[in-house]
Structure formats: structure tokens, C-alpha cells
Homo-oligomer: A and B are copies of this chain.
Amino acid sequence: MTDHSPKPPLGLALRQAHLRAAQVFAEELRPLGMENVLAGILMQLTLRGPQTQRQLTDSLSSDKSAMVRHIDSLERQGLVLREPHPTDRRAHAVILTDAGRARLAETQAAAARTEQRLTGCFTPEERDLLHDLLIRFTRG
């Protein structure tokens, strides 16, 4: 006999988990005067080195018009620079400044505290399992 019991909607669980993660991260960033999206951009720049706005848009699942404003904001704060791209004159290479690297260190500490608060009730294995399931889920 087939299972006809109503399964809880996975989408709602994902929405609520993501909301909670974003809330906790925002709390940890608030003392730094930092925002979630901008922190995400700084972390991507460190993980992957200088990126075009297009690459940032893709890796963060953001939007190219939004990215213009985000990079504007980071540039006004002196955390990144738009440099000419070495091979593509249409594109900008977004790079971290020294101030950006300093801010990033604090940001990474905030991210670490966030992960600890969020997965404090998990074993390391469970934490990795959740991550792997999410990756497979996203790839489809």
C-alpha cells in the first residue's frame, strides 16, 4: 500500500531555515555595520579572487542590476575597487582593498559565530550531511 500521508512541504521548511540563517547572520553582522549580501560578496572575493560583476551575480544567485548597487555601496565604503578587466574591456575586475580585507576578517568571524549558533545542536557529521543534501537538492 502506498503512503498517502500528507508530507510536510519541503519548500516551507527551506524558507524557514533560510530565514533563520539570514536573521542570525544579520545579528552577528550588525555590530560591524555590515549587511548579509555585502558580506557574501566580500567572502566570494576572498574564496575566488577578483571577480567580474557577472561572476558575482552568478555565484550568489543575485541580479545584475542589484549587483551594480551592491558594488557601488562597497566601493563607497572603500572595501572594494572596480579595476579594468585584464582581457575583457567591457568588464570590471572587482578586487578587495586593504580595508576590505580587514573588514572581511571580522566578517568571517561573524560567519563562524553564525554557523556555530545555527548548527550547535548538530554533530559535525550531521552538519556536513545537511550541506551535502542541500547541494544535491539544488543541483537537482
Interfacial residues, chain A to chain B (CB-CB below 8 A): 6-22, 25, 36, 40, 43, 47, 60-61, 111, 114-115, 117-122, 126-127, 129-131, 133-138, 140
A9 cross-chain contacts in B, Cβ below 8 A = 40, 43, 111, 115
A47 cross-chain contacts in B, Cβ below 8 A = 6
Q: Please give the count of copies of this chain that the complex contains.
A: 2
Interchain CA distance A130-B7 in the complex, whole Å = 13
CB distance from A23 to the nearest CB of B (A): 10
Given A10-B127, A17-B18, A120-B140, 9 more pairs with CB closer than 8 A:
A8-B131, A11-B118, A14-B14, A15-B22, A17-B134, A18-B18, A19-B61, A121-B136, A129-B129
